[in-house]
Structure formats: structure tokens, C-alpha cells
Chain A
Amino acid sequence: MDLSLIIFVSMAMFAIGIIGVLVRRNALIFFLSIELMLNAGNLLFVAFSRQWGNQIGLVWVFFVLVVAAAEAAVGLAIIINLFRSKQVVDVDQYNLLRG
């Protein structure tokens, strides 16, 4: 097992997720990028759990999975509601709270 390769992949996935959040304007791809970042964190948890022979990392992966599912349910409900009120999925157009 090559730990540094896995750390590098996880870093790259997280950075790509950040780029997706910052650059893409489609609300759904915005959301997919957040899920990608959660997955990058999960990968590190599993890799280091394996490295130290300690199961606590795997338990945390389980918690992250549950939180990701909850986040997807609530977030997609919010996106659907936003779409109902404005008829667009472009996050630039959601500027109701802008001062």
C-alpha cells in the first residue's frame, strides 16, 4: 500500500471539489462537488485507519456517509424550492439575500 499516493489523490479530489464549488454555476454540479469533497475526506479516513490499524477512522466514515445523505436530502429539497420560485438553477441568479 502506498500511502502517499492515496494522500495525493485525496488532495486532488478535494481541490477539484473546491474548484467545482467556486466556478460552476449549476446548482446541482455545485452540490456534486461538495459530495466529492466529502468523499476525499472519507478516503483519507480509510487510508489512515488502515495505516494505524485502528477502526475509529472507519466509524467516522460511517458518520460522514450519514451526514452526506442528510445533506443531500435537505440540499436538494432547497434547490427544488429555489427552482420553483425562480425557474433557474443558476446560483448567480439566487441573489435575494444580497445586501
Chain B
Amino acid sequence: MTIANATQWILAIVLIFSSLGIVLARKPVHACLSFLLTLLSLAVLYLQLSAPFIAVMQVLVYAGAILVIFMFVIVLFQDAHAQIDKVQANSAPLFLTFAAGAFLASLGFLGSRLIGIEASKDKLFEGYGSVEALGKALYVDFFFPFEAVVLLFLIAVIGALYIGKKEI
């Protein structure tokens, strides 16, 4: 087993356990930290899949921006998190069985069909995944989708500011 292969196995195990940590954590802060671990191991995996720019974006946008907002919100309602455990759930057992059944069935079925997919041996073109190549793709081939996404983000920021006001 090569080093690259071994790292991939380790990363896969870390990814699955840290995502389980998000769902199973009692306190939201622990879930957030678990999510941070997921994001960082995803970034390492992206580096290994020769997408360094995406890895940097992952750390900057997710770990740097989104997770910090989550942390702020968690700190905002610290008392409310403790109250959830005191209230009886409405329908958790039903959903739990359904979700666990769907999870196991899909994993088993799809996993049995996945064995034997070979990774492509083709050489990647020069500069694949670099900032230059991705920037060219974004600003030349995907110019209008890019502008649309910019508009979407602007609208989202305005909407968030408006919703967040004390009185609407």
C-alpha cells in the first residue's frame, strides 16, 4: 500500500467519524468542532485530488467564515440548547428508524455496486486545478453563471441584514 493510499484510508475514516460526531454530539459546540475536523480533512483530500485552489477556498470560506457565524449563533443562545433535552420529542423514534433503515439500505446496495471501479490513469493537463486555470474557466467559460452567483450572494446578504433587524 502506497503512502497516498494509506492517507486516503485514514482520511476516509476520519471523515466518517467526524460526520457522525456532528449528528451524535450532545452540545452544539462539539458538533461545530466535529464539523471543523470534517472540513479540514476534506481540504487535505482535495489537495490529494490535485485541487489546491478548492482546498484553500474550503478552509477560507467554510472554516473561516461559515463556521465562525455558527459559533457566534451558538454563543448567542447558550441557555436554549440545554432546554431541548427537557422537552419530549414529537416523532423522533419513527424518523430514527426510517433514517437508519434508509442509510443502511442505500449504503449496502450502492456499496456492493461500487467495488471494482478503477481510477483513471490519464495524465491531467498542465496546471489542472491551479488558480490560473480555474480563474480562466470561471471568468471566460462560466462568466454568466458567475455573475448570477454574485447577484445571488448580494441578495442573500441584503436579505440576511433585513431578516436580522429587530423589527421588520
Interface size on B, residues (CB 8 A): 88
Bound-state Cα–Cα, A76 to B28, Å:
14
Inter-chain contact total with CB atoms closer than 8 Å: 232
CB–CB A18/B103 < 8 A: yes
Q: Is A99 an interface residue (CB 8 A)?
A: no
Residue from the list A3, A18, A46, A66 in contact with B152, Cβ < 8 A? A66
A12 to B38, CA, bound (A): 13
B16, chain A: closest CB distance, angstroms: 5
A13–B19 touching, CB < 8 Å: yes
Dominant secondary structure at the A interface? helix
Mostly, the B contact residues are: helix
Instruction: Please name all residues of chain B whose beta carbon is closer than 8 Å to the beta carbon of A1 when the two chains form the complex.
Output: 4, 8, 48-49, 119
Q: Is the CB of A4 within 8 A of B89?
A: no
A73-99 CB mask vs B (1 if < 8 Å, else 0) is 110111111010001111011000000
- With a cutoff of 8 Å between Cβ atoms, the chain B residues found around residue A36 in the complex are 19, 22, 35, 38
**Using a CB-CB cutoff of 8 Å, which residues 1-27 of chain A contact chain B?**
1-9, 11-13, 15-20, 22-26
Closest A-B pairs by Cβ, 8 of them = A70-B156, A20-B23, A77-B163, A4-B114, A73-B160, A77-B160, A1-B119, A19-B99
Q: Which residues of A contact B (CB under 8 A)?
A: 1-9, 11-13, 15-20, 22-26, 28-29, 31-33, 35-36, 39, 42-43, 46-47, 49-53, 55-56, 58-59, 61-63, 65-74, 76-81, 83, 87-90, 92-93
